[in-house]
Every structure is written in C-alpha cells, then in structure tokens.
Amino acid sequence: MTLVLVGAEKSIRNATGSSMKTLKFAPNLVPLVMSGEKTSTWRMFDEKGFQVGDHVSFVGGGEEFAQAEIISLREKRLGDITSEDEISDGHERFGSDEERLETYRGYYGDRVTPDTMVKMMTFRLTSGHELHK
C-alpha cells in the first residue's frame, strides 16, 4: 500500500490500483483500535460519504496501521450522545459532555456545536500492521 495525494486528500491505493477511503486517528487511539477496545469512530462533516460495506484504510501518525470494513452507521446530534452510546459503540469515554464537545472542537474547530450531527461508524478490522514500539 502507498499513500497517494488526491487533490487535498490522501487516499490509499491497493494492489489493483483502486483507491480506498481513509480515516485518520490520533496516535493515542491506535493501540485502542489494534487491541479491539475501540470498535467505532465518530466523525463530523463527512465529505467522503462513508457507507456500510466500505473498506477503509486507518491512518495514524501519517502511516497506515490497519484496514477495516464499516459494518454499521447511525447519526446523532453531538448534544444527544450519552455515556451509554460510548459504551455500547465501543468508543473511547469522555468525562463529561463539555469534554466531548471540546475534544471534537480540537479536531474540527469552533464550527462544532451540540447541534452538530455525528456519524457513528462501527468497524471490523480486516488487516492490521505491527505497532511501532
């Protein structure tokens, strides 16, 4: 697999030359994904049009660390997400609604509000790479 610039976005080309959608993860989340503790990711402003059945490349620290299939999707307002959603979705936990809001503002900027829609994607790893020590 090689990273290829496509416009302003990076995509991964597989052995047949077709490109895969990518999902970037903060470096501290990579071990949680690889251990199976984190089985979902929540995204806002989905410009890639993620859908159930998509095969995606997971990138952390600028390198692909795994590939996965999206197995379920749902959407919910950020302000309506609860700690029960975090637990049932296999998502990392936040200490409060404010911490959740500030975390996503750190990723997406001040346009994130409690009314922002969150695409909640559950995934199944289909391949993984050794973690760098």
Predicted pLDDT at 120: 95
User: Could you state, in order of their start, the residue ranges of all structural domains in the chain?
Assistant: 2-127
CA distance 50 to 114: 22
Is 90 exceeded by the pLDDT of residue 106? Answer: yes
Q: Note every long-range contact of 38-41, with CB atoms under 8 Å and residues 24 or more positions apart, other chains counting.
A: 38/90, 38/91, 38/92, 39/89, 39/90, 39/122, 39/123, 39/124, 40/89, 40/90, 40/91, 40/120, 40/121, 40/122, 40/123, 41/91, 41/121, 41/123
Q: What is the pLDDT of residues 2-54, one digit of tens each?
A: 333 333 334 445 444 457 899 999 999 999 999 999 999 999 999 899 999 99
pLDDT-derived band of residue 129, with 50, 70 and 90 as boundaries?
low
**Residue 98 amino acid letter:** E
Q: Identify the architecture of domain 2-127 in CATH.
A: Roll (2.30)
Q: What is the pLDDT of residues 46-72, one digit of tens each?
A: 989 999 999 999 999 999 999 999 999
Average pLDDT value for residue range 110-125: 96
By C-alpha distance, which of 42, 115, 39, 43 is closest to 80? 115
